Amino acid sequence: MLQQTTVATVAPYFDRFVARWPDISALAAASLQEILQLWQGLGYYARARNLHACARAVVERHGGALPADPAALRALPGIGDYTAAAIAAIGFDRPVAAIDGNVERVISRIYAVSEPLPAAKPRLKALASALVPQQRPGDFAQALMDLGATICTPRQPRCVLCPWRRCCMAAARGLADTLPAAAAKPERPLRHGVAFWLTRPDGAVLLRRRPENGLLGGMTEFPSTPWRSEPWALEEAIEIAPAAADWVALPGTVRHGFTHFRLELAIVAGRGEVDGMWSKIDRLGEHALPTLMKKVASHSVSALSAYGGPAVGEPGSGSRNSGRNASPLIAKRTGAKDRR
């Protein structure tokens, strides 16, 4: 949970998680949907999928107990070099270096490594490994992480309090604030999509489950077009809508940032019935909705409440080509002929 997420955010999730699944066997027996539902809001959902797969592999291969050997740990789903080393060192006192971002920062400053990340990672790992003691390596691993988290911070490091101040080459040269160096990050591209807010007469809204693999894998979502670099025209989007309906473009867009790209979703609303997964709006919290889809739900409910006219899909609600409600992202072709 702490990968890419702060302790303050993780703490309540962790408490709920271990209260529900107190050991590896209990976690392995749970369904992926249960885990994703409890994980929603933490982001980076591949971690939850890997955690579930890892628990099942530990039960099948190791009788429900984590192995102590770093190589055996790395063979488990979702466990890479850092996690394997952290488990081996902290859990089993194996003399291995657990290299997270905090440790990389400390080591880069102690040795004044000017080579930018990620190219410097192999050298930083070698330097950190040479420091690991044979006695109490687990304590050393945690101390080094804490040093980076509390003293050797990314900005304004508290060098006067650092126990390694005398041997820090970066501090001696006045370079601590500049290290570790990072290669320039390319600007994240912008993608566009259209989400379909389809309700039926009883007020339930249509959902679907994303494929297990890939971005937001296994999570629940509102149906949408593919996400691409060009905005969608309204007529083009409704060609792949989940049902035939009198689609109305809601004003505004939903914006969300992923690690490698930014996303803007326009939303169209309609009323109809089709086979699929449906949920009452006040029960959406029971589904594994990622933050993006919670934004879609909030935006749709707010926009429809402010719409002021008949319910979407009822006579007089306006056609799917209604100009006054069209989002600017999908209004390019609203003059196209009505295909009802």
Q: Where are the domains of the chain?
A: 1-65, 78-185, 190-325
| Paired strand residues for 220 | 209
Q: Which long-range contacts (CB under 8 A, 24 or more apart) does 126-130 make?
A: 128/97, 128/99, 128/103, 129/96, 129/97
CATH number given to 1-65: 1.10.340.30
Record the tokens describing residue 4, joined without a space: 């890419």
Q: Over the stretch 132-155, which tens digit does the pLDDT of each residue have? A: 999 999 999 999 999 999 999 999
The per-residue pLDDT string of the chain (340 residues; one tens digit each, 9 = 90 and over) reads 988 788 899 999 999 999 999 999 999 999 999 999 999 888 888 899 999 999 999 999 999 999 999 999 999 999 999 999 999 999 999 999 999 999 999 999 999 999 999 999 999 999 999 999 999 999 999 999 999 999 999 999 999 999 999 999 999 999 999 999 988 888 999 999 999 999 999 999 999 999 888 888 888 999 999 999 999 999 999 999 999 999 999 999 999 999 899 999 999 999 999 999 999 999 998 898 999 999 999 999 999 988 653 344 343 343 333 333 334 344 333 333 333 2
In this prediction the pTM is 0.67
Q: Over the stretch 251-266, which tens digit does the pLDDT of each residue have? A: 999 999 998 999 999 9
List C-alpha distances in Å: 38 to 4, 20, 212.
18, 10, 17
Give phi and psi for 118, each to the nearest 5.
-90, 0
* Matching CATH number, 78-185, of 3.40.50.300, 3.40.640.10, 3.90.1640.30, 1.10.1670.10: 1.10.1670.10
Count of H helices and E strands in the chain?
Answer: 13, 7
Q: Is the peptide bond before 211 cis (omega within 30 degrees of 0)?
A: no
Cβ(292)–Cβ(339) below 8 Å: no
What distance in Å separates the CA atoms of residue 225 and residue 198, rounded to the nearest whole number?
A: 14
CATH architecture of 190-325: Alpha-Beta Complex (3.90)
In 3D space, the residue among 326, 340, 321 whose CA is nearest the CA of residue 235 turns out to be: 321
Cβ(273)–Cβ(23) below 8 Å: no
What distance in Å separates the CA atoms of residue 292 and residue 261, rounded to the nearest whole number?
A: 13
What distance in Å separates the CA atoms of residue 56 and residue 69, rounded to the nearest whole number?
A: 18
Give phi and psi for 103, each to the nearest 5.
-65, -40
